[in-house]
Amino acid sequence: MTEYDYWKIFPRMPKKVVIGDITIRDGLQHEEKFISTAAKKYYLEELIFAGCRNIEVTNLGNPFLMPQFRDAEELLVHLRSDRFKQRCAKKGVNYDDICFTAITIREGAVNRAIELKEKGIGPDRLLMMVSTEEEHHFANSGTTLPDYWQEAERCIKKCNDAGMKMCGTVSTIWGSPIGGATKLEDAVEFSKRFLEIGAHDIEHADHDGSASAPDVYRYFSMVLDEIPDPKYHIAHFHETKRVASASILAALQAGITNFEATLGGLGGQPANFLDDCPTKGTGEYYYTDPRYVGLVTLEDTLVQIDEMGIEHGYDVDRILKLGGQMEKTIGRRLRSEAMINGRTLKEGHMEFARPGLADRKKKLGEKPGQKFPETWSPKAVLPEKYKQ
């Protein structure tokens, strides 16, 4: 007989997950207009009040390259303020449960984070990134892989000595938009190298939506065989072909418990144009249509996981409302379907019912809830040819 219990089929699949939000950093880095500091503060606060406890705040790299993040310090000051801490307390949010992350791809940004930490406004966690495909890595960081690994080792030690955690991102796991196919085994080795030199956890990144569900399951099974505790692993999926929800499911089946997403599926390569001015970013875009890049949407991911009965800690309806507000902030239709269509309600949508069903059943002599004619057998008798 077929086993129908999903958790018996996939015994590693969790009953509880952590979903971090990276809208204000990864989501906004692709936008070609400056999103106001007031808007960023609003969404950071509201995401936390809606249940987010792991949140990317900003990028501490050179604002000349990415001017979207020229307000990085102001955002951190706001989140470390007594006013915000008091607001958290009034909302029933334990401020100490929140982890604020800032991206620090190069050593100068790590040094800046340490200076901010010494001022009392630094992030809790930093992030450095390698790509297993070296051309993509060079486009992102401007260094070779061996040179960057030595830089990362120095930076992680400085970061840990300053009392901050470092996340090591491994990218191009399932393919590179520049170099093409990659090997999953390389990404497993890169993950182990990051932990070897002192990283706190690993973000496993599908940088451009290359992943397929079978390879996602295979890769995370490989990773968990080598590094079994799921708390060290974060799944990061981009959405270019509308199949990332399958990747999320495959990661869950493999045993992954930590995920990342953005409101509306925002995100992509750092913008090379902001408002009315070209800017450097990371160079030319490596995709043909910027409308179809970005991360998995927080709204859709939450609805998917919520309807599987997996605990996540969010107020889903509040997140759906935020998704609608983010569309106004950005000024275009974003990629969440759940934000438009809502959740699947167990009680249904009776406002759409046509009048007269009860009267019609009564007129026909049917009982309320009766589904088949009374003369039929209680259970279907299936012809033998369908049982073969």
Q: Enumerate the domain spans of the chain.
A: 14-341
Q: What is the pTM of this model?
A: 0.93
Conformational region of residue 356, where left means phi above 0, alpha means psi within -120 to 50, and beta covers everything else:
left
Conformational region of residue 270, where left means phi above 0, alpha means psi within -120 to 50, and beta covers everything else:
beta
- According to the model, what pLDDT value does residue 110 have? 98
Residue with tokens 């909302």: 91
- Answer yes or no: are the C-beta atoms of 107 and 115 closer than 8 Å: no
In 104-247, where do the E strands start and end? 125-131, 165-171, 201-206, 233-237
CA 154 to chain centre: 28
Residue with tokens 């995401």: 47
Mean pLDDT by 10 residues, the chain (388 residues): 90 97 96 97 98 98 93 98 98 98 96 97 98 93 96 98 98 93 97 98 92 97 98 95 93 98 93 92 81 90 96 97 97 92 83 92 94 94 91
**What are the pLDDT digits (tens) for 197-243?**
999 999 999 988 889 999 999 999 999 999 999 999 999 999 988 88
Q: What is the CATH number of domain 14-341?
A: 3.20.20.70
**What are the pLDDT digits (tens) for 286-336?**
777 777 789 999 999 999 999 999 999 999 999 999 999 999 999 999 999
- According to the model, what pLDDT value does residue 208 have? 82
CA 221 to chain centre: 20
Query: Which sign, positive or negative, has the C-alpha torsion 88, 92, 96, 100?
Result: negative
The tokens describing 387, both together, are: 């049982």
- According to the model, what pLDDT value does residue 259 have? 98
Per DSSP, the three-state class of 220 is helix
